[in-house]
Amino acid sequence: MLVTGAELLQDAHKKGYAVGAFNVNNMEIVQAIIEAAEETNSPVILQASQGGLKYAGVEYIAELGKLAARNANVPVVVHLDHGTDFDQVMLCIRHGFSSVMIDGSRFDLEGNIAITKKVIEVAHAVGVSVEAELGKIGGTEDHITVSERDATFTDPEEAKRFVDETNVDSLAIAVGTAHGVYKGEPKLDFDRIKVIKEITDMPLVLHGSSGVPDEAIKKAVSLGINKINIDTDLRMAFANAVKQFVKENPDNIDPRKILAPAKAAMKERIVEKMKLFGSAGRA
C-alpha cells in the first residue's frame, strides 16, 4: 500500500531501525525493490531523482511507483529525491508522490529555511511528507555535484533551529558520507549523529550510503539514522550483471534475457540491505 514518508519514518524513529530508500529509473528496478521488500517483509521507499524523472518522465515513474505500491503487501513510499526547485516538487506532488525532498543545501541557512517552509506549506496541506537537507553532502548524485572542499557537516544547533522553524518531517544530515563511489573508506562522524538525534528527536536521513561498511551503517542506525539512501550500489549490481551476461551470451538480443540477471542481482543486494538496516520484518 502507498503510505507517506512521515508515517513510515515515525515508526522507524520510535523503534530504532532504518528504512532503505532505493533510486528507481525503470520497471525492473521497481520490481527488484518490491520483490525484496515483500520477501523480507520490509517497508520501503522508492525514490526518483530529478535525473531519473528526466530519463523516464515523471508520469512513468509516478504511475510505476503507485502501481507497485498499490499491489505490494508491504508499505511503500513514492518519494522525490533531491528536488532542488519549488516547481519540480509541485509537479511530483501533483502526480501523486507521497513524499518529497526539497534540497535547499546550496542556500545559506535562511534561504534553506525559506524554501523548505514554502514547500512544506503546500505539501502538508495535501498530506505529503517532506525531507530537507542541512549541511552539504559531497560527491555526485545525478546532476548535483558538491566538491570535497564545499562539503560541510551539519551543525547540531542549526539543525535544531531548522526543524523548529520548518516543521520538516525528516532531515538529511551531512556526517561524512558522499554520493557515488568512494575513493577511500568513508569516516562517519558518529558523535555528530548522536548529538543531532538528541537535539532534534526526529527521523534522520543518511545519503551517499553505498560503499559504507556494514558496521558503520549498523552504528549509524543505532544512533538514530532512520532512512538510508542507496543508488550507486544498485547501479553497480545492475551494470556488472548486464556486462557479465553479454560477455557470456554475445549473440543474445532479447532485452528480457539481458535484464533478468540485472534485476536478480539488484534484488539480492536490496535484501541484504533491508536485513542490515533492520527494516526486515517491520512491515
Kindly list the catalytic residues: 81
Report the candidate in 21, 22, 19 with the shortest Cα–Cα distance to residue 235.
22
Q: Report the alpha-carbon distance of residue 259 to residue 30 in Å, rounded.
A: 13
Applying CB under 6 A, among 25, 231, 237, 266 the residue interacting with ligand G3H is: 231
Q: Report the alpha-carbon distance of residue 29 to residue 194 in Å, rounded.
A: 33
Task: Select from ligand G3H, Zn ion, none the partner in contact with residue 180, using the beta carbon and a kind-dependent cut-off of 5 to 8 Å.
Answer: ligand G3H
Point out which span in 34-42, 72-80, 139-147, 183-191 binds Zn ion (CB under 5 A): 139-147
Applying CB under 6 A, among 8, 232, 266, 273 the residue interacting with ligand G3H is: 232
Point out which span in 69-77, 189-197, 222-230, 249-257 binds Zn ion (CB under 5 A): 222-230
**Per CB under 5 A, 207 contacts Zn ion:** yes
Cell output for 199: 537535539
Task: Identify residue 150 by its one-letter amino acid code.
Answer: D
- Exposure pattern of 208-243 as b/e (b: 16+ CB <10 Å)? bbbbbeeebbeebbebbbbbbbbbbbbbbbbeebee
Task: Select from ligand G3H, Zn ion, none the partner in contact with residue 209, using the beta carbon and a kind-dependent cut-off of 5 to 8 Å.
Answer: ligand G3H
Judged by CB under 6 A, the chain residues 76 through 95 that form the site for ligand G3H are 81-82
Q: Name the strands in the sheet holding 178-179, side by side, starting at the edge strand that comes first in the sequence.
A: 144-146, 138-141, 178-179
Question: Applying CB under 6 A, which residues contact ligand G3H?
Answer: 23, 81-82, 141, 179-180, 207-210, 229-233
Question: Applying CB under 5 A, which residues contact Zn ion?
Answer: 141, 207, 229
